[in-house]
């Protein structure tokens, strides 16, 4: 399966890392605020993170094409799109260009209400943020005390 991840912070990085390492997914696109990386053969997620930490950007990573129009990164063809960065990433203005088969909402409200029906009518499955990113709030880290 091919995956595009928008947001390469804590949530996006770990989603990409686990999907590529544990499930054999090919992370073909990583989107950040300053642009996106594309490699149809898959990106080395850990190497991209090292590059980001060293340079302050994902752009310029040697193992991928760098593009400065981050909005276009949401529009790449992929099996799974994981918007993990911001609310209203997919809106009526860009919904017609979304080519993923499944959207896993890892950010809070990344699909605008007006865009959701268009995606569903196109047959795109949406895993809602309420389920995808609920784990931390449902299972708080224990302080070590027994209650």
- The number of domains in the chain is 1
Residue 52 within a domain: yes
For residue 96, tell me if it sits in a domain: yes
Residue 132 CA to residue 105 CA, distance in Å, equals 6
Report pLDDT for 13: 96
Structure tokens at 143: 């302080």
In-domain check, residue 61: yes
Number of C-beta neighbours around residue 120 at 10 A: 12
> What is the distance between the alpha carbons of residues 39 and 61, in angstroms, rounded to a whole number?
11
**pLDDT score at 35:** 98
Find the radius of gyration of the CA atoms of the chain: 16
The domain that holds 114 is classified in CATH as: 3.40.50.720
pLDDT at position 147 is 41
**Residue 145 domain-assigned (yes or no):** no
In a domain, 147, yes or no: no
Encode the chain (147 residues) as per-residue pLDDT tens digits.
999 999 999 999 999 999 999 999 999 999 999 999 999 999 999 999 999 999 999 999 999 999 999 999 999 999 999 999 999 999 999 999 999 999 999 998 999 999 999 999 999 999 998 888 765 544 444 444 444
Range of the domain at 33: 2-134
What does the chain come to in residues?
147
Q: Does any domain span residue 140?
A: no
Query: Cα-flanking dihedrals φ and ψ of residue 65, to 5°?
Result: -80, 135
């Amino acid at each position: 399966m091919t995956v595009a991840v928008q947001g390469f912070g804590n949530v996006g990085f770990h989603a990409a890392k686990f999907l590529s390492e544990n499930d054999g997914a090919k992370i073909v696109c990583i989107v950040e605020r300053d642009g996106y990386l594309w490699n149809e053969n898959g990106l080395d997620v850990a190497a991209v993170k090292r590059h980001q930490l060293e340079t302050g950007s994902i752009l310029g990573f040697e193992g991928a094409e760098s593009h400065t129009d981050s909005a276009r990164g949401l529009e790449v063809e992929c099996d799974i799109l994981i918007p993990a960065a911001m609310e209203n990433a997919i809106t009526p203005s860009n919904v017609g260009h979304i080519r993923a088969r499944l959207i896993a909402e890892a950010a809070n409200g990344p699909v605008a209400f007006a865009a959701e029906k268009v995606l569903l009518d196109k047959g795109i499955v949406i895993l809602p943020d309420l389920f995808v990113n609920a784990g931390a709030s449902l299972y708080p880290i224990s302080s070590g005390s027994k209650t």
